Amino acid sequence: MNRSFKNKEIMSVNTNVVLDMASVFRIEDTPLTEPAVLIDPSTVPTGANIFERTRILYADATGEMTVGLWESSPGAWRIDTVEEEYVRLLHGEIRLSDSKGGSRHFKPGDSFFVPERFRGVWESIGEVRKIFVSLKRKRG
């Protein structure tokens, strides 16, 4: 399946087609114009309203791998991941804490990996913007 690459919309690569520099772009320069969505309040221990927005820039033909931009307002919420995700933090800070009490703090420029089945708390410290590559394997 090959979708056209116009105005940096969702793109998938047909391996039978040779692409040129028009297909190459800086992800961090891409505007995020999607509407903000409320993060599920049942996952937010404080009851605060936390918003996120996502722009998918690339999806492979299977839909298993996506590349995109994500932003959130400040706050913390519980996560239980169903995909593997590489993250490059562009703006803000993130603290990830696992269900055993361990935690890591990430700042702009940091890259990190969150494995499938990670369970813990994601905390966006200030406004956060990240680039992500996500792999969600389809199960038989």
> In the structure, what pLDDT confidence band is assigned to residue 15 with cuts at 50, 70 and 90?
low
pLDDT greater than 60 at residue 1? no
Would you list the domain boundaries of the chain? 35-135
At the topology level, CATH places domain 35-135 in: Jelly Rolls (2.60.120)
Distances (CA, A) of 45 to 5, 74, 121, 123: 40, 13, 10, 11
C-alpha to C-alpha distance for 75 and 60, rounded to whole angstroms: 31
* Position 11 pLDDT exceeds 60: no
- Check pLDDT > 70 for residue 92: yes
pLDDT at 2: 33
pLDDT in tens, 62-78: 889 999 999 999 999 99
